[in-house]
């Protein structure tokens, strides 16, 4: 069953409206909460007048730092992507309503609870706030000298190998440029929303989340109740891209409100509010210096990056992590620092670190290709890393050379003329560009339970998440394959903390982590059945149970990564080839076609895998040509805070995209051989397009997105 292109098992529920998302849990006696946002980027609240708001129709209460209960600061806030059920509070040094301090514009400083959404919205507008403002830090470039290492840990420390600065100084050919990426916001179709309900000291939370077990533990710590008293349900997530991997302030605010009014509370954030309070990809500035021989062999790589952070959040956009493993060189320096600004908290966004980082390194490598007059594909082959350059570990598998070859052949790369502006169709300048893709192959501990009933059906459960990637479908396929039964006899349960523990659905590790647990539990169940039958040839599972007068047979496992895996460096790889057409008179750039080849271990479902790759590629096109959250440094505010002005690709922007699966057998990553594909599709798309734009126009754009004004 594994590998077949099967339809999603939840497809019908989603298109008919049967699937219930967080905000659609309309519990009896439900009331509504609407947050009030700060209108300055830095300072303190001087007065917060709620008298008029409290008198408004339907209002139950207004909560702020003046009357909110004091929460217990959660512990290990950095655990959001580590896989285990650690706390995952996004702003660990600023609990909501803890005091009168304003850290950024848009900070949630009060909440109104009322009988209806309309009443709460109206009353929130009646809350009057005055401030003691102080000068705000808003300019990343102006404050670059104040960049700091953050958070503590090896991945945040600078890495040096050899003597990169001396090697660069003496190199025959040099490229030394600065590349910039803008603020970007996730904008999932489903806004962040919760419904919180207390029964004594027991809390039930309906959430749109990527990490329900960490959310449960965060809330248990914050409200000082046993973890067992918190149940989090998130059966359907309408998009996340990293924004729903952490517990944001609105979550605790909604839970506080429900406890204070002693009724279920629904709190959902408007599109505008999402731009200020639920994370974003931070702005980055990256210097890349490449030193090479005249033949293109790298002798030095220096990649120095800074990104936006703030004083209450630990996030660091680790742009240089990809540089440390991508190409072979004896001399390497890589570092990524944070500049703390009075800007809302950044967070993980699809391929965090890798996506902006590879724009810089792959753009610089293209510049080097022109400097040494070597074909861009050949230059990458010259510098191919046969082992991980920084630790010497062998790859668990690496089919990057084949990705280059197959995608280049299918694309027709041999037709490319070397000189920029040498390919035209009338007023259109045609350009070809390419870039490498890569993403780590992560695996975290996960648990699963499987029950075979005497009607021949199997229920497999693990508290994972379904964000549209097809998780429920793929897990059913894995279990069916192991047990040797049709997929339609397997049901996969997920999205509930009463189920066996699963890690965060992020870092492209759900298939490898939960998939391994499903494989292991199905294998354990099969062993029990073989023991019952006395043979491994079981024609009818239901008949076997009837024969032994058993209503059901159950197995449960806790699946852990093998220690032997630490001997290998594990990554998925790929290659993007893009053709652009740029109107020579108007400066409009269009991606006419892309061919991308990926080697990411075993493909579990060809249909959902292709969809994941395509989704990443489309998002990469948006990052290259459209996506940017404009930021007004004068007032510390994002300005295009709606989907009318925050531009994302639509159907008319997307032409011919082709995905090639490069088959790969990796016996080391996990029992099912899958590396994870949720993020690699976006990595490398932006530099492939930027390189194609340079080939078309002779104009090198080093700051995304590539807009008309940058090409005119």
pLDDT band, very low/low/confident/very high, at 310 (cuts 50, 70, 90): very high
In a domain, residue 51? The reply is: yes
In sign, the C-alpha dihedral spanning 477, 480, 484, 486 is negative
Last residue in a domain, options 251, 277, 303: 277
Spatial distance between the Cα atoms of 703 and 344, rounded to a whole number of angstroms: 22
Spatial distance between the Cα atoms of 123 and 54, rounded to a whole number of angstroms: 7
**708 pLDDT more than 90:** yes
Look up the domain containing 614 and give its range. Answer: 393-442+568-712
pLDDT digits (tens, 9 = 90+) for 362-397: 999 999 999 999 999 999 999 999 999 999 999 999
273 in the same domain as 260 = yes
pLDDT band, very low/low/confident/very high, at 153 (cuts 50, 70, 90): confident
pLDDT digits (tens, 9 = 90+) for 413-454: 999 999 999 999 999 999 999 999 999 999 999 999 999 999
413 in the same domain as 482 = no
Per-residue pLDDT, averaged over 492-511, amounts to 97
Length of the chain: 712
Helix H segments across 163-223?
164-169, 212-223
**79 pLDDT more than 80:** no
317 is catalytic: no
**Which DSSP string corresponds to 304-360?**
EEEEEEBTTB-----TTTTHHHHB--S-EEEEEEEEE-SSPPP---SSTTHHHHHHH
Model pLDDT, residue 85: 54
Model pLDDT, residue 87: 75
Model pLDDT, residue 86: 60
pLDDT digits (tens, 9 = 90+) for 187-242: 999 999 999 999 999 999 999 999 999 999 999 999 999 999 999 999 999 999 99
Model pLDDT, residue 218: 95
Q: In sequence order, what are the beta bridge partners of 89?
A: 247
672 in the same domain as 574 = yes
User: Helices 606-625 and 685-697: crossing angle, nearest 10°?
Assistant: 50
Residue 524, token pair as written in the block? 């354990």
Three-state DSSP class for residue 471: helix
Residue 582, token pair as written in the block? 């740029």
Per-residue pLDDT, averaged over 478-507, amounts to 97
Model pLDDT, residue 75: 65
Spatial distance between the Cα atoms of 220 and 208, rounded to a whole number of angstroms: 18
Spatial distance between the Cα atoms of 449 and 521, rounded to a whole number of angstroms: 6
SS3 content of the chain, % helix, strand, coil (to 5): 30, 25, 45
Model pLDDT, residue 81: 44
464 in the same domain as 434 = no
555 in the same domain as 509 = yes
Spatial distance between the Cα atoms of 642 and 640, rounded to a whole number of angstroms: 6
Residue 501, token pair as written in the block? 């523990």
The DSSP code for 200 is T
Last residue in a domain, options 560, 585, 620: 560
230 in the same domain as 98 = yes
708 in the same domain as 586 = yes
Pairing of strands 446-453, 332-340: unpaired
218 in the same domain as 232 = yes
**664 pLDDT more than 80:** yes
pLDDT band, very low/low/confident/very high, at 123 (cuts 50, 70, 90): very high
Best CA proximity match to 33, nearest among 299, 257, 354, 238: 257
Per-residue pLDDT, averaged over 338-346, amounts to 98
**96 pLDDT more than 60:** yes
628 in the same domain as 487 = no
**Most distant CA atoms of the chain, gap in Å:** 80
Query: Could you tell me if 94 and 312 are in contact, meaning their C-beta atoms sit under 8 angstroms apart?
Result: yes
628 in the same domain as 515 = no
Spatial distance between the Cα atoms of 377 and 413, rounded to a whole number of angstroms: 9
In a domain, residue 241? The reply is: yes
Neighbours of 51 (CB within 10 A): 10
Last residue in a domain, options 255, 277, 299: 277
Spatial distance between the Cα atoms of 428 and 116, rounded to a whole number of angstroms: 55
The CATH number of whichever domain residue 671 belongs to comes to 3.30.365.10
* Residue keyed to tokens 């301090």: 101
218 in the same domain as 95 = yes
In a domain, residue 6? The reply is: no
Catalytic residue among 419, 664, 679, 709: 679
Three-state DSSP class for residue 693: helix
Total domain count, the chain: 3
Structure pTM? 0.96
In a domain, residue 362? The reply is: no
pLDDT band, very low/low/confident/very high, at 403 (cuts 50, 70, 90): very high
User: Rounded to an integer, what is the distance from CA 618 to the centroid of its chain?
Assistant: 15
Three-state DSSP class for residue 255: helix
Phi then psi for residue 24, to 5 deg, are: -95, 5
Computed over every residue of the chain, the mean pLDDT equals 96
**82 pLDDT more than 50:** no
pLDDT digits (tens, 9 = 90+) for 244-285: 999 999 999 999 999 999 999 999 999 999 999 999 999 999
Neighbours of 506 (CB within 10 A): 27
225 in the same domain as 79 = yes
pLDDT > 70 in the chain, percent = 98
Per-residue pLDDT, averaged over 93-122, amounts to 97
């Amino acid at each position: 069953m594994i590998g077949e292109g099967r339809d999603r098992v939840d497809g019908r529920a989603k298109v008919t409206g049967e699937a219930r998302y967080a905000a659609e849990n309309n519990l009896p006696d439900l009331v509504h909460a609407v947050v009030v946002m700060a209108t300055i980027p830095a300072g303190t609240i001087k007065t917060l007048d709620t008298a008029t708001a409290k008198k408004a129709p339907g209002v139950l209460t207004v909560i702020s730092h003046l009357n909110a209960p004091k929460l217990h600061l959660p512990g290990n806030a950095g655990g959001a992507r580590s896989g285990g059920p650690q706390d995952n509070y996004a702003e660990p040094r600023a609990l909501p309503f803890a005091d009168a301090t304003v850290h950024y514009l848009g900070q949630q400083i009060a909440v109104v609870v009322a009988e209806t959404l309309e009443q709460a919205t109206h009353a929130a507008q009646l809350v009057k706030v005055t401030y003691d403002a102080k000068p705000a830090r808003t300019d990343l470039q102006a404050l670059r000298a104040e960049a700091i290492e953050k958070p503590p840990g090896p991945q945040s420390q600078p890495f040096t190998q050899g003597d990169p600065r001396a090697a660069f100084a003496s190199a025959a050919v040099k490229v030394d440029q600065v590349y910039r990426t803008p603020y970007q916001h996730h904008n999932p179709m489903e806004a962040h929303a919760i419904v919180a309900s207390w029964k004594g000291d027991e809390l039930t939370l309906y959430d749109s989340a990527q990490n329900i077990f960490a959310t449960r533990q965060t809330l248990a710590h914050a409200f000082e109740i046993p973890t067992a008293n918190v149940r989090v349900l998130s059966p359907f997530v309408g998009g996340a891209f990293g924004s729903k991997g952490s517990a944001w302030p609105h979550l605790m605010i909604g839970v506080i409100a429900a406890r204070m009014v002693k009724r279920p509370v629904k709190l959902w954030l408007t599109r505008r509010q999402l731009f200020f309070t639920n994370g974003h990809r931070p702005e980055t500035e990256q210097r890349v210096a490449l030193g090479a021989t005249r033949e293109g062999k790298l002798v030095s790589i220096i990649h120095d990056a800074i990104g936006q952070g703030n004083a209450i959040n630990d996030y660091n956009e680790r742009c240089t992590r990809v540089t440390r493993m991508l190409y072979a060189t004896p001399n390497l320096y890589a570092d990524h620092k944070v500049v703390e600004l009075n800007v809302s908290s950044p967070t993980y966004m699809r391929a965090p670190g890798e996506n902006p980082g590879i724009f810089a390194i792959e753009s610089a490598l293209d510049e080097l290709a022109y400097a040494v007059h070597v074909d861009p594909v050949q230059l990458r082959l010259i510098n191919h890393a046969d082992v991980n350059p920084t630790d010497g570990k062998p790859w668990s598998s690496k089919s990057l050379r084949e990705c280059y070859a197959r995608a280049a052949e299918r694309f027709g790369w041999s037709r490319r003329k070397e000189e920029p502006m040498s390919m035209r169709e009338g007023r259109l300048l045609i350009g070809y560009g390419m870039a490498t893709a890569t993403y780590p192959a992560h695996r975290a501990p996960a648990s699963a339970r499987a029950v075979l009933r005497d009607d021949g059906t199997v229920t497999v459960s693990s508290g994972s998440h379904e964000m549209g990637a097809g998780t429920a479908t793929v897990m059913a396929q894995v279990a069916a394959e192991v047990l040797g039964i049709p997929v339609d006899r397997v049901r996969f349960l997920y999205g509930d903390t009463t189920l066996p523990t699963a890690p965060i659905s992020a870092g492209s590790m759900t298939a490898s982590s939960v998939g391994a647990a499903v494989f292991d539990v199905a294998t354990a169940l099969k062993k029990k059945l073989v023991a019952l039958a006395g043979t491994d040839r079981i024609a009818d599972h239901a008949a076997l149970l009837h024969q032994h007068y058993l209503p059901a047979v159950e197995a449960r496992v806790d699946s852990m990564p093998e220690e032997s895996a630490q001997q290998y460096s594990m990554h998925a790889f790929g290659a993007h080839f893009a053709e652009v057409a740029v109107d020579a008179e108007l400066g409009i750039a269009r991606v006419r076609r892309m061919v991308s080849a990926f080697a990411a271990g075993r493909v579990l479902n060809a249909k959902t895998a292709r969809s994941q790759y395509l989704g990443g590629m489309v998002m990469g096109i948006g990052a290259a040509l459209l996506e940017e959250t404009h930021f007004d440094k004068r007032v510390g505010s994002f300005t295009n805070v709606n989907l009318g002005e925050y531009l994302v690709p639509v159907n008319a922007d997307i032409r011919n995209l082709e995905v090639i699966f490069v088959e790969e057998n990796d016996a080391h990553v996990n029992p099912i051989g899958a590396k994870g594909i949720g993020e690699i599709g976006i990595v490398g798309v932006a530099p492939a397009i930027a390189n194609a734009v340079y080939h078309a126009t002779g104009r090198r754009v080093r700051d995304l997105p590539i807009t008309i004004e940058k090409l005119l």
